[in-house]
Structure formats: structure tokens, C-alpha cells
Amino acid sequence: MAKTKKQQVFEAAAELFMEKGYMAASMRELADRVGLIQASSLYNHLKSKEEVLRKICFDNAEKFLIGIGEVEASDTSPTEKLKALIRLHIRIAIDDPTSVTVFNDEWRHLSEHYLQDFLAKRKDYEQRFKAIIETGISQGAFKAVDPNIALYTILTSVRWIHYWYKPARNISLEKLESDLFTLLIQGLEN
């Protein structure tokens, strides 16, 4: 199915934001990328440059929130839930590295109202992730470490994947997951 012009604009904007950063990207450059003669023509497809940033940030936040909801609802051990969350981060990063780069690096440029909403979603996700770690600690599945340290160590450890992973690296997705499970979960398990 052919992409609409609006989809093309959003994808081109994500690429431009990833390459130059949100603040340095101009509407003129975006218009050039999607083959529009005038930057003003973009406003037929979007309200503002920030609309694109909001869509990227909130669409990705929603993917993570839906994913953690599914993990929480699963009838599995804290170790399996942690594996599922690491897998979630890997899959989202590999499926759309461009928008994940913008999501991770450019969210700070959201205007105040949207920024507060985005940060609330992020905090909700982190608290729910930490609760899974805390459950693992209380059940004796994980070492009695500070859950915040465990949380941010794991999140930081998966944040680079969208920059690094390329099929040409000759590492399978399964091997990537397995190595991360070994490094991150075995260090936490009792």
C-alpha cells in the first residue's frame, strides 16, 4: 500500500530530526526531502514542526506502555517479565531506529504542556518496570540491590541498540537478546 503524503512527511521529518536534531532541522529542508516546492506546502499536511516531534514521542511512548501492560498481564516469573521487557526495547529499537533515536534524544524540545505529559508517561513506565524488579527482589529471584540502580542500568544498557544494530553486523536478533539477557539478568539473579 502506498504511503500518504502525510506519512512521507512524518518519516522524512524523523530522519531529518535524527540527522540534524530537532532544533537545527528546518521546514525548508523537510519540504525539500518530501519533494515539495515550497515549505509553506507542508502546512497542508501538518500544523507545525512540533506536531511531528509530538507524534514520534507519543507514538513510541504508547508502544512501550502497551508492551509493559502485556508483560504485566502475563502469568510469568519476574525473570521472564524482565526478559520480555528487554526484548520489547530491542524490538522497538530495531523495528524503527529512526523514530526511536528522535524519541530518545529530542523529547526535551516538546513544549511545556506536552513535555509534562510525556514525562508523566515515562515516569509511569519506569515505575511499572521497577515494580517488576521489586517483585523479583521480594520473591528472592533477584539479588537485594537498589531497584532504581537495577532499573536505570537496564534502561541505559538497551538505549544504544538503535544506533548500533544493523543486519550487516552478522549478529542475529536472538544472539543480541541472549547476550543482553546474560549480561543484565544473570547479574541480577540470585
Number of domains making up the chain: 2
160-183, pLDDT tens digit by residue?
Answer: 998 888 888 889 889 999 999 999
d(CA 16, CA 4): 18
Q: Are 69 and 31 members of one domain?
A: no
Tell me, yes or no, whether 101 lies in a domain. yes
Region 14-43: mean pLDDT is: 83
**What are 1's three cell numbers?**
500500500
Report pLDDT for 39.
Answer: 66
pTM of the model: 0.89
Q: Are 20 and 34 members of one domain?
A: yes
Q: Are 30 and 55 members of one domain?
A: no
Q: Are 33 and 97 members of one domain?
A: no
Report pLDDT for 118.
Answer: 97
Q: Are 85 and 113 members of one domain?
A: yes
- Torsions phi, psi for 189 (to 5 deg): -70, 150
80-136, pLDDT tens digit by residue?
Answer: 999 999 999 999 999 989 889 999 999 999 999 999 999 999 999 999 999 999 999
Q: Which domain holds residue 26?
A: 1-46
Smallest CA-to-CA distance from 64 within 36, 37, 99, 19 is with 99
- Torsions phi, psi for 173 (to 5 deg): -60, -40
CATH number, domain with residue 67:
1.10.357.10
Tell me, yes or no, whether 128 lies in a domain. yes
70 versus 163: the higher-pLDDT residue is 70
DSSP code string of the chain: -PPPHHHHHHHHHHHHHHHH-TTT--HHHHHHHTT-SSGGGGGGT-S-HHHHHHHHHHHHHHHHHHHHHHHHHS---HHHHHHHHHHHHHHHHHH-HHHHHHHHHHGGGS-HHHHHHHHHHHHHHHHHHHHHHHHHHHTTSB-S--HHHHHHHHHHHHTTHHHH--GGG---HHHHHHHHHHHHHTTTB-
Q: Are 110 and 64 members of one domain?
A: yes
d(CA 26, CA 22): 8
Tell me, yes or no, whether 88 lies in a domain. yes
Tell me, yes or no, whether 190 lies in a domain. no
Tell me, yes or no, whether 30 lies in a domain. yes
Tell me, yes or no, whether 60 lies in a domain. yes
